[in-house]
Homo-oligomer: A and B are copies of this chain.
Amino acid sequence: MSYFYSPDERASKTLFGDITARTFWGEKMLMSLVDLPANSVVPLHSHPHEQVGLMVKGEATFTIGGEKRLVKTGEMWVIPGGVEHMVEAGDQPALALDVFSPVREDYQY
């Protein structure tokens, strides 16, 4: 096994509608590199896992715990477990890294 991963060499998993991700994990965390097509929406949801992340490319509007904000390239978020959140892409695609702890088993493939 290697410690290194190239997302370009990894198949994608569908998360919601036309939103896909490539995921990589250890024992405590799972990284999810999420491709958000233009105008895509991650609907309001919550999970017991803590979620942190960074906007790698582009921008999207996040609503977390009722707080709404346009998150631009390089900006970051921390979502405690159980807090409802949603994401709305703009008219350009975006790429976001989410990291979950504990590992989201439903995101392994």
- A4 B64 Cβ-Cβ under 8 A: yes
How many chain A residues sit at the interface, stated as a range, is 35 or more
Most buried by B among A33, A64, A75: A75
Q: A7 with B76: in contact, given A24-B52, A54-B31 (CB under 8 Å)?
A: yes
A76 pairs with B26, CB closer than 8 A: no
The verdict on A99 contacting chain B, using a C-beta distance below 8 Å, is yes
A67 to B79, CA, bound (A): 33
Pick from B26, B64, B97: contact of A78, CB under 8 Å: B26
Instruction: List 8 A–B pairs whose Cβ atoms lie within 8 Å, in order of A's numbering.
Output: A3-B65, A3-B77, A4-B64, A4-B67, A7-B76, A25-B78, A29-B99, A33-B54
